[in-house]
Amino acid sequence: MKLIKFNSLTTASMGVTTLIGLIAFLWPFFLQKESMFGNNSDNASILILIIVPLVLMVALADVMQGGIDSRSLAILGVLTAVVAAVRPLGAGVAGLEPVWAIIIIGGRALGASFGFVLGAIGILGSAVLTGGIGPWLPFQMLVAAWVGAGAGLLPKLTGKKEILLISAYGFVVGFFAGLLLNLWFWPFANGLLPEISFEPGLAITEQLSRWIRFSLLTSFGYDLPRGILTAVLLFFLANPLLKAMRRMTKRANFSNAVVFKA
């Protein structure tokens, strides 16, 4: 199995992107009353202008320093197209989104930086394909990137243990991805009950409680099916797909010139 290894530039790019992403998601818990933002659309526009170049830098760093070779780059292109094509099929249908399983398998097969790039670029490609570009997009890209990277950072196991591990991982991220994505709009939602509404200046523990209650009331019916479907797909499909992808990275060779003989 060939995993794409970290190098200094890749690590730095992923670290900066993750730091910016954490700030973008977690600012509501640290916001003071006098600092309330008025419009998340402007913030998201700035965020996507930052995130897209940083994600491309992760990919470029791997290519420049030998992490992603021609074989891995070809697989990245194919999986990105698959993510972009498959994602609309499950959008809005009770959280049944098979795209998460594809991102996890890609990250598991070829490493954390590959999964990071696959998740972010795949979601971006899907948004461009379907016209789903909006203030939610950079947050979706970040979550998908983290999911793909996390799959590559899981402990090294083989056989049934590996399948059980990534299936459990798929359930966890499938469920909690929805909770995390709620943070992009929860602070700006109007007309909510006080028990679940965002209020700047509250203690972090109270903000966390309100966010969790809001998520359970509004998205639990999507998050739980997403987690279950992701786990089931990984349990039945991960083994053959991982084997196929790992064979491709070992055997495929796109670097040799093709010579035609008369």
**Alpha carbon distance 160, 238 (integer Å):** 10
Please give the pLDDT value at position 61.
77
Please give the pLDDT value at position 254.
45
Please give the pLDDT value at position 92.
55
Please give the pLDDT value at position 72.
80
**Alpha carbon distance 152, 113 (integer Å):** 8
**Alpha carbon distance 188, 169 (integer Å):** 30
* Ordered DSSP codes for 190-235: -S--TTTS--TT--HHHHHHHHHHHHHHHTHHHHHHHHHHHHHHHH
Please give the pLDDT value at position 22.
93
The pLDDT tens digits along the chain (262 residues) read 456 555 677 888 899 999 999 998 998 888 776 654 545 556 777 888 888 888 888 888 777 766 667 778 888 899 999 998 888 776 556 667 899 999 999 999 999 999 999 999 999 999 888 888 888 999 999 999 999 999 999 999 999 999 999 999 999 999 999 999 999 999 888 889 999 999 888 999 999 999 999 999 999 989 999 999 999 999 999 999 999 888 887 754 444 444 545 5
- By the 8 A CB rule, do 234 and 104 touch? yes
**Phi first, then psi: what are they for 96, rounded to 5°?**
-80, 90
Please give the pLDDT value at position 190.
83
Please give the pLDDT value at position 258.
45
Class of domain 8-251: mainly alpha
Instruction: Give residue limits of the domains in the chain.
Output: 8-251
